[in-house]
Each structure stands twice: as structure tokens, then as C-alpha cells.
Amino acid sequence: MKRSFARTVVLAASLAVMPSAWAQTDLQEGLWEISVTMTIGGQPASAQPLVMRQCIAQQSAQEVMSQLAGAGTCETADLQQEGSRATWKVMCSSPVEIDAAGSANFRSDSFDGVMSGQLGMSGQTVPFSQNFQARRVGDCQ
């Protein structure tokens, strides 16, 4: 299984649940930087974290996450939020099968979380885990 492809799909799956949590948290609009580290089968998926920047407006957060989640067919279940903490389960069927659970803590200018579970592709199943951090880095240009 290609690690970079699997890492992108898992990142998309974890971020697909964020709009609901964002709706209940007063996150600031602006340019956000998201950093993800991941292990697949107990080994680092890459030497460096995957880092991406995205301009997010509250009214477009759902659209942004839908685009990121477009890499696969995922369903979110058991999304719960208590205060600034959200938990969820996610299952994806293609192009990579994912069965995972995650949690995140939200603040107005940052959030961080974890997700772990199983990846399946071409009849193989391997455990994975990921940690992600995001922070607002400025205004959108």
C-alpha cells in the first residue's frame, strides 16, 4: 500500500468530521496551517509531517472539508461534542478501507487531535495512527 496515498486518504477522513465540531466552536476565520504525523503498521509514514495551509471562512468550512474528503467514500458516526472536545468514528470504503475513531480539542485559534484504526487495501489490513495539529496563522490574502 502506498504510504503517501493512504496518508492523504486518512487525513481526508479525519478532517471530514470537522465541520460539525466547527459549527459549535467559535473558530476564527483566516489562514490555517494543519500538520499531520502518521504511522502505518507501526512505522512513520514519512520523515516529515504533512503540512498544508488552507484559507477557511466559517461559511465555507463545510465546503473545504468536503473537498478534502473527496478522496474517498467515508461515513462519520457517533460524532459527539462536549465543550471544546469532539469524538467520532469514521468508516471509508474506497479507495482505501478505513475503520477508525478519533478525537480533537478545539480552541478559537487552534485545534489538535488523534485518530487511529485499521487501513485495508488489496486484501491487506494494517493499523495506523495519526496526530494532527492546526493553528490559525493569519488573514486570508
57 vs 22, which has greater pLDDT?
Answer: 57
What are the boundaries of each domain within the chain? Answer: 3-138
Q: Left if phi > 0, otherwise alpha if psi is -120 to 50, otherwise beta: which for 123? A: left
Reduced to 3 states, what is the DSSP secondary structure of residue 23?
helix
Give the model confidence (pLDDT) of 51-97 as tens digits.
Answer: 888 887 764 444 444 444 444 577 778 878 788 888 888 888 877 78
pTM assigned to the model = 0.74
- Cell for 47? 520523515
Whether pLDDT at 11 is above 80: no
User: Which CATH number fits the domain 3-138, given the four candidates 1.10.860, 1.10.3110, 2.40.160, 2.60.120?
Assistant: 2.40.160
